[in-house]
Structure 1
């Protein structure tokens, strides 16, 4: 048997249960991964609470978690095995091997002991990454990379990031800095020293935000990434000089302000993203801190912490 965190009704973290389930079989073009760690993201608890659906309870038991790291323990038809995959080339030549360490994303169900995954959403895990660190990467890194591409920032521009101390915010800030972009970010005061170490100019949330941003960025703001969803779109449009220079991943009222809302439906291939990002991670030019880890049976506590917000980096669930 396998185990998975699931829920059968929408609600708070208390609706989550650790269930015994049949070990899933990989379909065509898939592998099955024995999960060692799974990342926690805002989308997890928003789905659990029913914020992202069309009303009504789930059609059946629903899994949680969209990113993971672990080892391949079964291969579906068409996934194949090649010498390159066995050597850690990440399926770049069309194959994967049993026992290979990997990380990636799924639509749901990563908080489990086993998960089937499409090979196109899978990457070989370098030996210098831990399972916990790798599981924290796919969502934050892909989202940050995607939204920065949409904002089309150039060297010398200034980017404002709301919730800059969270997973997406931290990655976006560091990628932007690596590309020669100045970064101002909203965060709670306890995170400011860490952010300054990364070259980010931190400012506090709350009343007077526009004035604090202008003081921190006297050259002006060229673009805004809202990863907070804390009613900051109006001031973001004001600071950026128009809605076309603002992207949110967290505020469902984006259309009211003429702002772009970027979701996973806009996703880009992980291979494209990590071709740039893995070298930065390896040489320490990009850091994704782990705020806290929880064992699989305490996934509800991980969700509670995620909902509270004010995190530094990511929360990760570990699987023995």
Structure 2
């Protein structure tokens, strides 16, 4: 009996010894892993402050080249802007308010009541007032190098093309002001509104292929036909009126307007005529003279009652005015 149990006892001893060896081995492995993890953690903890210490701070300025070729360091997000140009409504459309602007340019504009708190920098721009306002960016529509040099001594200054097409201009000013997303959103919304306006007008009787022309007088008895500026930019949209052949030549030449004589007005007049009421009294007198002329009364649009008038100051090219015109054009045509 005792002999029979001896081999079993020996097997038990061998099993227990094996178990102890495995346990010891596992403990050493666990201790090794724990030590390795601790070391790795210490290394990471040591490395983190180093990485943070070497991180580059966010840039506050960037290089910008304006359309006249001046390369200037401008703020990434300008906060104190002086804007001297015809298209202040572009800023309003982006929810931006300048600290300074030539307020005389706002007379008669659709956005005049939205300039609360904006200081008048005069036109031509007053350098002393500009310096007093301490701008961090000056956006200037003039082209005189002497003006650019003088303004550049006050703050970073760029020359901005206010005569560029609406889309191009809004994308550019959006980038300058750090409002790229807002500019794209506004353009998309504007296109939707414009498409809806033309659909409404065509449903109300506007015929496919109808032509239109825009005229106005300037002092000196000077008659102009409008092309790539103001109201005509809206009228000649993709789904809008067509220019007459004579006006198309002016558009092809990328001209904002062209002076013509009363004697050739028939060549430019379309199925519908939009007459812009000028500001100057002399120009108003010239307009009255045109309306009484035999040439004017012989035009088909005049005979058919398709003549519409609008204050020239409310037909500017800026974004705020363009948006306003989308509601005004249907109102004009319904009269």
TM-score normalised by L of structure 2: 0.31
Q: Which has the higher contact order (CA 8 A, sep 6+)?
A: 1
Q: Which structure would you say has the larger Rg?
A: 2
